[in-house]
């Protein structure tokens, strides 16, 4: 750790820019309740555009690098005694010491705030469902403002490089590894990340190095440039500028399923947004994203999965079903017992392709007379046909949790677990087509052939072992 009078001896500055694009809606909230919407976006006070704070992006990058290095939900160790050299941890090397560590250094990475390219936003409605009655709870209706998919942010990073060539190369490698997570879409941003919000990618990076000690021209160029466009080149063409990503064993444990489904029945996840520009609008229509594509929201999918998981666990593990459920799906923040916890099950918002909307008129029936109720005619616009891909993943899974997710997949596959509203009149059923299971280094393909499920023999034994583990009360769920 340096003392107050010691300089960081910055020999060069590596400046990297890129354009971040949202692949799903994102809620970058301001932490306050709004006048017109329950959970508004954070906006720049001067221009009114949505704001992505550099501190938020730094936290997401640090969490990603720490998970790569230590595993999910592992605390960074504190230094034992005075440190005589640079830290061994890639995370601490790039992002500095953790709060309260007297031996920690300041981060050499500077991340700028970013303003969205436009101010468009959409409102997503939400409601809490009673698990017993499967109806909406009173006073638990809410709405939040989200940035639609396709929104872009200009990113800018500046890495301070020391005189030591070896240390500078380690810093470049650590940054390359962190930025790789953004490039491949593994670092979600904002709230409700486990429910499909905030997924994003960066298609390409541009980089330039200012040699402050070796080149007077570079020093003057850096001093004169605020956010320069001059001199930037794609990192792909100048890989040596950024350096190769750090050689690091990925310690993350993930059980992931990507499954393709066809809509076997009309689907209606309610939205009050207008269906067309005309005056004759249905009362409710299926949910669409900011680009007009019909979607299955992550919150709707996760809610249906949690309700069905509660029923399964009530049968196979009645004595511990609530603890098992809380460990996997997260502890409810509204419950009076225990602190809220985040979900280890993550789902993605899924687009539906190839479908079409059909407006249907309905009427409420008087159960006493059997006739139509006055003023009770209404119209709905569910989505008909189409296909989609659902992505489900568990971080740090136990064998029993893998078995539970497989049973949930089976119920979705056979149409026994409907999604969305009006399931009691036959809506929301899916039909499984094919699935890929990624099991901590192994990959298995499942498909429907002539009405039968086909998969490799080695997969059969493993999957049956996971389901058997769910029925065994000896194995406790892994909540860390």
Total Cβ atoms within 10 A of residue 141: 12
Is 305 in the same domain as 285? yes
- Residue at 348 is within a domain: yes
Q: Give the span between the Cα atoms of 230 and 426, in whole angstroms.
A: 60
Q: Whose CA is closest to 283, among 359, 204, 397, 369?
A: 359
3-state SS class at 121: coil
3-state SS class at 200: strand
Is 150 in the same domain as 201? yes
Half-sphere exposure of 100 (CA within 13 A, CB side): 3
Mean pLDDT on 313-324: 89
Domain-ending residue, one of 242, 268, 287: 242
Is 455 in the same domain as 396? yes
| Residue with the larger pLDDT of the pair 247 and 263 | 263
Are 221 and 373 spatial neighbours (Cβ–Cβ below 8 Å)?
no
Is 289 in the same domain as 187? no
Are 310 and 328 spatial neighbours (Cβ–Cβ below 8 Å)?
no
pLDDT at 45: 87
Is 258 in the same domain as 238? no
- Residue at 438 is within a domain: yes
Is 177 in the same domain as 309? no
Is 438 in the same domain as 322? yes
- Residue at 476 is within a domain: no
Q: Whose CA is closest to 432, among 410, 413, 453?
A: 413
Is 234 in the same domain as 274? no
Q: Which run of H or E residues covers position 60?
A: helix 54-70
pLDDT at 52: 95
pLDDT at 372: 83
Q: What is the mean pLDDT of the chain?
A: 84
Q: Bridge-partner residues for 313, per DSSP? A: none
Domain total of the chain: 2
Residues sharing a CB contact under 8 Å with residue 45, sequence separation 6 or more, in sequence order: none
pLDDT at 134: 64
Mean pLDDT on 227-233: 48
Is 271 in the same domain as 145? no
pLDDT at 389: 97
* pLDDT > 90 fraction of the chain, expressed in percent and rounded: 44
74 phi/psi in degrees, rounded to 5: -105, 135
Is 151 in the same domain as 203? yes
Q: Give the span between the Cα atoms of 292 and 277, in whole angstroms.
A: 12
- Residue at 300 is within a domain: yes
159 phi/psi in degrees, rounded to 5: -105, 125
pLDDT at 239: 40
3-state SS class at 375: strand
Mean pLDDT on 28-32: 82
**Token couple for 126:** 């939400």
Domain-ending residue, one of 199, 218, 242: 242
Is 120 in the same domain as 235? yes
Domain around 283: 254-471
Domain-ending residue, one of 188, 211, 242: 242
pLDDT at 246: 58
- Residue at 247 is within a domain: no
Are 211 and 47 spatial neighbours (Cβ–Cβ below 8 Å)?
no
| E strand intervals along 24-151 | 51-52, 109-111, 114-115, 122-129, 136-146
- Residue at 228 is within a domain: yes
Q: Whose CA is closest to 158, among 146, 147, 171?
A: 171
- Residue at 478 is within a domain: no
| Residue with the larger pLDDT of the pair 205 and 338 | 205
pLDDT at 119: 78
Q: Give the span between the Cα atoms of 333 and 257, in whole angstroms.
A: 27
pTM for this prediction: 0.86
pLDDT at 35: 63
- Residue at 138 is within a domain: yes
Are 23 and 348 spatial neighbours (Cβ–Cβ below 8 Å)?
no
Res. 479: pLDDT tops 60: no
Is 260 in the same domain as 237? no
pLDDT at 86: 67
């Amino acid at each position: 750790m340096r003392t107050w009078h010691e300089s960081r001896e910055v020999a060069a500055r590596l400046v990297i820019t890129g354009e971040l694009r949202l692949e799903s809606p994102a809620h970058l909230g301001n932490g306050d309740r709004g006048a017109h919407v329950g959970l508004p976006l954070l906006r720049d006070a001067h221009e009114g555009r949505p704001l992505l704070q550099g501190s938020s992006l730094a936290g997401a990058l640090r969490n990603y690098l720490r998970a790569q290095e230590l595993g999910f939900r592992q605390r960074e160790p504190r230094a034992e005694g005075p440190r005589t050299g640079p830290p061994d941890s890639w995370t601490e090397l790039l992002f500095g010491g953790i709060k309260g560590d007297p031996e920690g250094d300041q981060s050499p990475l500077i991340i700028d705030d970013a303003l969205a390219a436009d101010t468009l936003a959409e409102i997503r409605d939400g409601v809490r469902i009673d698990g017993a009655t499967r109806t909406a709870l009173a006073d638990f209706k809410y709405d939040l403002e989200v940035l639609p998919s396709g929104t872009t942010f200009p990113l800018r990073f500046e890495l301070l490089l020391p005189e030591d060539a070896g240390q500078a190369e380690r810093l470049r490698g650590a940054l390359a590894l962190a930025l790789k997570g953004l490039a491949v879409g593994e670092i979600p941003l904002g709230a409700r990340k486990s429910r499909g919000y905030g997924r994003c990618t960066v298609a390409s990076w541009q980089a330039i190095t200012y040699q402050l000690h070796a080149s007077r021209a570079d020093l003057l160029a850096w001093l004169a440039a605020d956010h320069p466009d001059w001199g930037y080149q794609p990192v792909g063409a100048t890989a040596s500028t950024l350096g190769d990503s750090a050689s690091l064993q990925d310690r993350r444990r993930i059980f992931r399923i990507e499954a393709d489904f066809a809509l076997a029945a009309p689907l209606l996840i309610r939205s009050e947004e207008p269906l067309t520009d005309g005056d004759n609008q249905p009362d409710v229509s299926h949910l669409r994203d900011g680009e007009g594509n019909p979607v299955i929201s992550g919150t709707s999918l996760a809610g249906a999965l949690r309700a069905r998981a509660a029923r399964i666990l009530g049968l196979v593990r009645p004595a511990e079903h609530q603890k098992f459920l809380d460990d996997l799906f997260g502890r409810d923040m509204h419950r009076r017992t225990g602190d809220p916890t985040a979900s280890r099950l993550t789902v993605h918002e899924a687009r539906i392709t190839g479908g079409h909307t059909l407006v249907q008129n309905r009427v409420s029936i008087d159960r006493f007379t059997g006739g139509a109720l006055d003023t009770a005619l209404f119209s709905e616009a569910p989505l008909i046909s189409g296909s989609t891909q659902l992505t489900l993943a568990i971080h740090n899974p136990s064998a029993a949790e893998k078995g539970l997710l497989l049973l949930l997949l089976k119920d979705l596959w056979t149409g026994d677990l409907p999604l969305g509203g009006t399931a009691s009149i036959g809506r929301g059923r899916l039909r499984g087509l094919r699935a890929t299971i990624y099991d901590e280094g192994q990959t298995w393909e499942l498909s429907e052939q002539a009405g039968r499920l086909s998969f490799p023999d080695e997969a059969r034994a493993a999957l049956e072992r996971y389901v058997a583990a769910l029925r065994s009360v000896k194995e406790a769920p892994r909540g860390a």
